[in-house]
Structure 1
Amino acid sequence: IYMDLVRHGHVDENYMAEQVRRADTTDGDIDTLSHRIAQIRTWTFVSNRPGWLADQLHWQEKTREIEDRLSDALHERLTKRFVDRRTSVLMRRLRENTMPEAEISPTGTVLVEGHHVGELQGFRFTADQSAGGEDAKAVRTAAQKALAAEFEARAERFAACANGDLALGSDGVLRWIGAPIGTLVAGDEALKPRLVLLADEQLTGPARDKVAARAERFVNFQIESLLKPLVDLKNAEQLTGIARGIAFQLVEHFG
């Protein structure tokens, strides 16, 4: 490049075309792709220097397209390396029949043995969507094993939480510190909706019962507090005849 600039004042485009052609392949491992990206960036730099090339715009577009392809290929290789390493670690822990170490961030990100495996929101775990095949099986199995104690601990915390930590939205979803816990569906009576827990099957036994009981207490409290006039109408045994019929209609239509 230097000699071309000194002798001719511009870069030989035939030479550049050959170098760019050599870099334009996505074969190879991570190191090979990284080296090619470094090469093509050199030619991207050349294409952006005023006066160095006759057809500057063409080479800018060409080198940018190649760099994008190489970057995508490198990302794919890096992802595969990460997945392979994660699968290897998790499968080894499962074979050893040891309890995998789990970390859960405040936002719900779940790491098992230092590897991202998914998200835990409330009592529902969502496995990493990039996992597939054997990796997906390893991720889910390891996560279930690692999160067993967390489900129990969360159930205890939820059962003891204050009303201020819970919120019932206009969409009928009950949330605990922002995480969906349950949803209301119509029950046999207007003022007695049924609560359906939004929880994995891993939440079972006494732990699930505690969560359900606390959630139902909060829902009942909300109904009795916010809809007290309707609750009183429903329970007004002194009403008879037309008055009782009107009261029934008011309760059924929430006012």
Structure 2
Amino acid sequence: MTENQNINLELLLQSLEDDFDPQERMRILEILKKTNPIDDSLLGAKMVLEKNNWDYEVLKYTFSKTEERIETIARATKKTNNSINYLKYAAVLLPIGFVLGYFIHFTLTHNQSIDQFYSKEEGLPHYMGTENANFENLMVLYRDNKMKAAFGVSEEILIKKPQNDTAIYFHAVIGYELKNFKVAKEGYTKITQKKESAFYYDAVYRLGFTLKKLNEEKAAYQQFSTISKDQNNPYNQKAKEILECFD
């Protein structure tokens, strides 16, 4: 493919396949970034990609869910194979309103549904003794909902105790409350790599919400899926309910 070749929807959809050359896919996406499609379907696909940091997995997921609905309609109406193929083709050649309408509805509905399962971390009880004075100050600020001040204290503690699970975990918790989801992801991920940590299960669970906030749909789904299969995880049942929000 040459650098100035026009991108059409068929080529874009081919690039979403798992066995497609990753470098070729990147070239296609880069060209699409620089073009202004006049085809409604291609423009809709581009807008979905732009809203999700050009994560092709999100676009692939959107189209796959649309095709699943088309399959359901075809079975319910007893369509022939030729009709099914036509409907699949029609599902791919979606007008921009349908592409964005479905995707925006999906995003808003499921973000709201998933948020109902999220509960704010209660924090730790007050420590005794001067050695843990910084942690006690952190918890006072956290409980008083003074998150910006709490975040500053958590950073100071983390600098002094970079390997401390409590410091790492609450830095992530406060980051999430401040909508600094990149900080939250970094901290939770560190804890999830330490199964012996007292915060392990909480971090595993909260990482799922963080990934969702970062629009990492596939990773969020996989995170909750893993939790749902872990009988030792106290969030096992909640994860099963959350997974229904992705359907």
TM above 0.5, yes or no, is no
Between 1 and 2, higher relative CO (CA 8 Å, sep ≥ 6) is seen in 2
User: What is the TM-score of this pair, normalised by structure 1?
Assistant: 0.22
User: What is the TM-score of this pair, normalised by structure 2?
Assistant: 0.23
* Structure with bigger gyration radius: 1
More strand by share: 1
More helix by share: 2
